Amino acid sequence: MKGRLFCLFLVCVVLLFSLVVRLAMIQMANGAKYRQLAEKQSYAELTGICNRGTIYDRNNRPLINAEDSYIFMIDSRRMDKAAEDLLNRLNARRQNNSNNKYCLYSIFGIDRAGFKSLCRDYGALAVKVRQRYGENQYAIHLIGHIASSDKPEATGIEKDFDEVLSYGRSSFSVRNDGQGYFIPGGGIRIEGDRREWGVITTIDYDLQKLAEEALRNSGQGGALIITDIYSGEILASVSATCCDSYPTDEYYDNTEEILKNKAIGCAYPAGMVFSLLSAAAIQENEILKDPETETIIKTAHALGFSEEAVETLSGQTAGNLSEYEKKMMEGLSKPADWQEELLITPMQVARMTRMIAEEGRDCGLRAIKGTVEGIKGALMLPKAKERQVISTETARMIGKKMEEVFVDKQHDESEKEGSYAGGWFTGYIPAEEPRFGITVYLEGAQSASVTASTVYHRIAGRLYSKLP
Q: For the ranges 20-29, 101-110, 186-195, 431-440, which has the lowest average pLDDT?
A: 20-29
Q: For the ranges 170-174, 226-230, 314-318, which has the lowest average pLDDT?
A: 170-174
pLDDT over 80 at 6, yes or no: no
pLDDT (average), residues 360-374: 92
Radius of gyration of the chain (CA): 31
**How far, in Å, CA of 398 to CA of 415, rounded?**
24
Q: For the ranges 158-162, 187-191, 266-270, 300-304, which has the lowest average pLDDT?
A: 187-191
Banded model confidence at residue 114, pLDDT cuts 50, 70, 90: confident
**How far, in Å, CA of 284 to CA of 295, rounded?**
7
Mean pLDDT over each residue of the chain, to the nearest integer: 78
**How far, in Å, CA of 360 to CA of 362, rounded?**
7
**How many beta carbons lie within 10 A of that of residue 362, not counting itself?**
21
pLDDT (average), residues 53-69: 88
Banded model confidence at residue 406, pLDDT cuts 50, 70, 90: low
What is the pLDDT at residue 193?
A: 64
pLDDT (average), residues 367-387: 87
pLDDT (average), residues 349-377: 92
Is there a contact between 381 and 263 (Cβ–Cβ < 8 Å)? Answer: no
What is the tens place of the pLDDT at every residue in 437-455? 999 999 864 444 568 888 9
pLDDT (average), residues 33-46: 58
**How far, in Å, CA of 291 to CA of 383, rounded?**
35
What is the tens place of the pLDDT at every residue in 122-150? 888 887 777 788 777 899 899 988 765 44
Banded model confidence at residue 175, pLDDT cuts 50, 70, 90: confident
What is the pLDDT at residue 420?
A: 37
Give the chain's domains with CATH numbers: 67-129 (3.30.70.1150), 205-464 (3.40.710.10)
pLDDT over 90 at 195, yes or no: no
What is the tens place of the pLDDT at every residue in 226-238? 999 999 999 999 9
pLDDT over 90 at 207, yes or no: yes
Q: Which amino acid is at 7?
A: C
